[in-house]
Structure 1
């Protein structure tokens, strides 16, 4: 797998003097002036939790999470302090699940954190302690928390008919009274009605949500393999909403991203076949660790092949913001709305599940901050 970009205007290469970093500043013309290179600033680190998701709340707290199968020995969800300590979030009870205990009121294995437009936090619990395992009954869920008071507003569990043997509820985006989630294990979009709690599977097993047969995930020159030694394939994984929520973008980890107007997804009367007529290709992206959508419609994404941070502008122009060996599988970038993007680096390819039961991740695990160019703030 190699990173391929459309034939567009070339970007300007800027060699940074420190840390062997190469940055690419977006160029508007072939003779564009050199922009100030970005800088990776480590803002949090720890020795126990390979966090793959981060959100910075209105109080300035770094809320992080980590799936159980990464080798996490800390909480499922925590406040990451500057000194490296981890405080269980929202409390210890929610982080004290054990096999046989109530799965509806404790985190089993959290894969994603999403901060909505109001600043509320949404946590996606896969419900499965093992990578690729069957979720515990009533374990797969979405937990909505008010970070102003750290109280759980509501827990949304998924009915049995929605969960498949290898369902991996991966990520979430909120749009009015609907939430959209990806099932990265079986390949589907889940549409959750936030009012009545009902859930519908969409595009179940269709090409829009399934990895292509020959797709490979390459990190630092190595093809990532699953337990059977075959190249790992991840189905519906990244998803984003356009500013205003009119369009959902979604696809397998290895691409391609498709698009559909959310008004069709929200229409329960449409069959999957009818719904599929409204899907079109949006962006032939490379395999990515994660994505984030800017307020201007820019897509920020982290290609796995070359440890980079990229931006796809609303006009389709692609540019590189950073590339650094420290950005080994950036999983879920977080935009704070104040000109910063935060990059959690869990080194997912180093998880025991992909290395004969032994972690090859290098600790401490870090979150980096990149200050976006002035025009993007």
Structure 2
């Protein structure tokens, strides 16, 4: 291990929405450098989009950045994000250290300083994520005393290998079907309430050992998320299943991509309300979206998705479609107060 940096860096705590554009670009470039090492075969982070995202925050959310500069250069940062109205004892923590200065104590320093800020906000529990693409992340999380709460399998589907006949079978529905699909690239105002309600179905997804209260999705949240995506240039395609007799949305699936890295499409959630399962809605939604994707993103080559390894139903659907394991992701949960002690070890 090389020399300790903790006595020579300048640490500051800022509200990211107050940063000017050069400062936001600085943070975004650090994220891009870290991502390039972790995922050298993925399209690079779009720095301008990442910087623009830092300028947008929902009124019900809070965030802070703990930034570490060395000789005027940003070499590390810890991001804290939290809701002001829900799960108010918790926060999400992400620690990034530039590859050039790792293993010199900076990650522990950032975690400790982030813990101080989190505790000032009453956040006694933190959540974090690591992937198998950066094995040191798991070791770091364990060293800080976090517990592994949810193990996820990240899988990829090469679109060139899609079975068109399979998709046709899955989108074939019975006569007098009780369900219909709706397609959104931007949720219209008059549908915000129904979309917010169906997004709440994700509260039924496997949580592993993670402990938190159900999240309530509001129409204002949906509009904020969509406005932020528009501001950063990100595109989205969402399909929802409507139960015609009830006039409610009962299932959905969505994907995201940025035009500058359009070859890789990120699959968001796919969920069906428990009362409407076993009607083929999950397969229908996934297949119909994959059939519609080329029209909206003709450059797409791969779709990437993540599922809890305990979610046998969705993993089965993805395997039938041709998704294959790419790497793993772990969701961690820990006591924020422990960071103050473990981060100095």
TM-score (ref. length: structure 2) = 0.27
Higher RCO (Cα < 8 Å, 6 or more apart): 2
Q: Give the strand-richer structure, 1 or 2.
A: 1
TM-score (ref. length: structure 1) = 0.26
